[in-house]
Amino acid sequence: MPPPVTIFIVEDNAWYGELLEYKLAQNPDYTIRRFTTAQSCLDNLGDKPDIITLDYSLPDGKGDQVLQQIKERLPEVAVIAISGQEDIRTAIGMLRQGAYDYLVKDEETADRLWNTVGNIRKQLELRQENTRLREQIGQKYDPQRAILGESPQVRQLYALIEKAARTNITVSISGETGTGKELVAKAIHYGSERRNAAFVAVNVAAIPRELVESELFGHEKGAFTGAVARRIGRFEEAHKGTLFLDEVAELDMSLQAKLLRVLQEREVSRVGGSSTIPFDARLMVATHRDLTQEVKEGRFREDLYYRLLGLPIALPPLRERGEDVLLLADSFLREFCTQNNMATCTLSEAARQKLRHYSFPGNVRELKAVVELAAVLAENDQIQPQDLPLRHLQPETAVADTISNESLRSQMAAIVQRYLDAHSGNILQVAAKLQIGKSTVYRMVQNNEVYIR
């Protein structure tokens, strides 16, 4: 249903005020109140009208002065100035002060007012719908709805998200691929005071290197071949909101220097432009790499690292979250079955055991894909172990403790493979984590003992 609209009519001419009220009262959704003085209107602004029709010449104040006082207290209210003056300068002055429209009193004023109020009402409906959708998004990204889990690691994560949402501190999110870094960033944004502004996400690794600068900072027409029009960058898009830079470690050194300057000066220059544009955007960054190691190895600027560090949030891999894997699996199954009009699937106890003992190198993203495919493959409404397309079952934490007849070499290969999967095939990181030579890992890859997947 369209929202009700409260209208204040401020008019010292009783007959004319009655005429306007009679016209607008034809819509039963309009609640109308009349005032004959500016002060009586100002005294009742606490009732928060949606629209005010304001006579320019009142016994206790000129329209421009009254308009200024109204806008100071209710910036969002739509004020329609109505005057017997046809002076264009008066009209322009009122519009510049924030009046929605300026109507001259004549025999058609009531009809024009009816149309103007109708247009304002449509805008109010759109604003209300926008607010409702933003509230729904905020609820969707409420941490305890968006990030399911009961493990101590997840409960600690909830606390960090809540603290981050209270301020504008830069947030650096780290974690393996598939742990939900963007989800955490959205939970912080939609829980903060910036929730009504834009959340702009950029995956740096997904943009060709030669286009990253233009993507982030924008460009002017003719700045380079193909720049046929001006384009604003993501920093400008995120003004008053949040900019999320995913895989920030993939920035090359020259762009790292420019990003540092932008963050220090809080202004950007478009590619090919000479002017600077100030911005007010909160920054959040994420990476699956170890930034401290990247700094040590000279691939990431130390000064930028400290500028981005802010509040660090490390996301736990799924294999460290205990029974959360089953909680998530059940949720993904319910959602998938509902979306596809399927009978609700459940996991058999044997299937649940299989999930418990799998390490999920792809983390939550892999779990979601696995259970959705299992729901399709299952012969009935109960998923069996053979329906779960898991790659391997040996959990990383159990490798060193497993007593088997395997050779030491095969057990070592299992450990290296686990770390390769966890670190997206980054041989240097795996060698550093396991404290073995990188040549050892390269040799195992060449001998097909381990694989980069």
Confidence category of residue 125, pLDDT binned at 50, 70, 90: confident
**Does position 404 have pLDDT exceeding 50, yes or no?**
no
Confidence category of residue 405, pLDDT binned at 50, 70, 90: very low
**Does position 45 have pLDDT exceeding 70, yes or no?**
yes
Q: What is the pLDDT of residue 188?
A: 94
SS3 content of the chain, % helix, strand, coil (to 5): 50, 15, 35
**Does position 297 have pLDDT exceeding 50, yes or no?**
yes
Confidence category of residue 131, pLDDT binned at 50, 70, 90: low
Read off the pLDDT of residues 139-162 as tens digits, 9 standing for 90 and up. 666 766 778 889 999 999 999 999
**Does position 1 have pLDDT exceeding 70, yes or no?**
no
- Assess contact for 180 and 197: CB atoms under 8 A: no
Read off the pLDDT of residues 84-124 as tens digits, 9 standing for 90 and up. 877 788 888 888 889 999 999 888 999 999 999 999 998 88
| Residue 261 phi, psi dihedral angles, 5° rounding | -65, -40
Instruction: Look up the pTM and report it.
Output: 0.62
The neighbour count for residue 324, using CB atoms within 10 Å, is: 20
The residues near 102 (Cβ < 8 Å, ≥ 6 apart) are 80, 81, 83, 90, 91, 94, 95
